[in-house]
Amino acid sequence: MLAQLEKFYSQLRRIYTLGCIGALLDWDQKVTMPPEGGGDRAEQLELMSALSHQAMTDAAFLEVVDSLYEGRAALAPSDFVNVREMKRMLDRARCLPVDFVAHRSKVTTLCYQTWTEARAKDDWQAVAPQLEEIVSLCRQEAELIGYEEHPYDALLQGYEPGGKISQIKPLLERLGTSLAEIIPALREKFRSVPEVRGDYPEDLQSKFNLHLATACGYSLARGRLDPTHHPFQTSLGSRDIRITTHFYRNDYLSSVYSTLHEAGHALYEAGTLEKYKGTPMGMPVSLGIHESQSRLWENLIGRSKQFCRFMHATLKDYFPEEHRRITPEELWRMANKVTPSLIRIEADEVTYSLHVVIRLLLEEQLMTGKLAVKDLPDAWNNLYQKYLGIRPTDYKDGVMQDMHWYSGAIGYFPTYALGNLYGAMMLKVAERELPTLWSDVEQGKCTALLAWLRKNVHEPGMTYGGPELIKRISGQDLNEGPFLDYIKHKFAEI
């Protein structure tokens, strides 16, 4: 068995390295690549996807994994988890022919490039045919992988292992209904909030953001912060974990919360144990848990009164006029204004989950064929009218606003709302176990909270699935109650 384990980990290192190279090519495409480089980059990523898939589905490697899985009872705990999770991932990967994987990579790379150009021009017709091909490929993928209940499950489980739409849809719809009931009253309470106004140079915004992210634990010794069309985080290795954001010259808060969100993702990636690099024990549990970390730092911490006081004190070093113009209380109200809006990544934390519910409903219909891509803009607009009482007047702030579908990531969106629920349940326990948590946050000291998250969330890797992990932490099954309690308590005093 020792010889088999050596072969197992040797191949995992190769798979991990190939993945990091692919991630570097993807990061460069989204951050620094010249506009006309898309064709070559599509071919490069097509090759990397093929090589990665071939390494995953190599016959000798599959034989080793199957053999180790059969004898898993004799393995050490960390080896047991690594073999169990690789078996799960490989059972999925071996369903997909290498030609299919390579072709899908090329199609999604080209579509993303088209989307970046088409969105700037509000040109839906330019990208719709490529999105139609992506949806078709996603349907094919679901059939190749197989599912017990719904084709959407095959895609969802690529992001949230074990997740089923029959479980997640009712949970998120209950959450959406409860939030919709309180939005009108909260919206009224925030009518007199000061507006962000002024001119905030991007270089100063970047330095300000890094100051705040560093307070949370992010380090430039192992990362970067760069501008891009749609913010994201990526890991190019255990010591190269990069984040991106966007800048608006007249609104520094937008980039602050974008940066904190991506820094939360990065802190999770950096918090896994390096000795397990490239193995499931060194990987995030699921994207729902991943989003719990980004949403926790962005909202539960970043939009708290305590962090806003720290942020206000920091303003004087970067934007002194803004520091004089507003009080800490006004900054908190600016950061937490509740009002329905068109853009998901700009949404307040109360209305945010409604954006996710809308996308889940659309994805479900796309996967069953009930909704055609050509009808997607009207369906999108109708759901925004129904759930948020607003209607897009263009494509770029409507159906073209997110990069996910145009990158092939159908099934991803529910994890954002699940992250809200996971994060609230985690914070409730952390508050109980860390009595100085909020006084520390007010001083820009987040080391105790980060250490708590590393011990309870990051370091276990994929030892437990998301639902099991949250039950071990909180003693409860995943539910919307703690998040709703958090929202009601937070805004009760206004």
What positions carry a catalytic annotation?
Answer: 262
CA dihedral 456, 284, 265, 12 (to 10 degrees): 130
Place of tokens 């909270």: 449
φ, ψ dihedrals at 225, nearest 5°: -130, 120
Task: Name the token pair of 162.
Answer: 């074990």
Task: Name the token pair of 311.
Answer: 């942020």
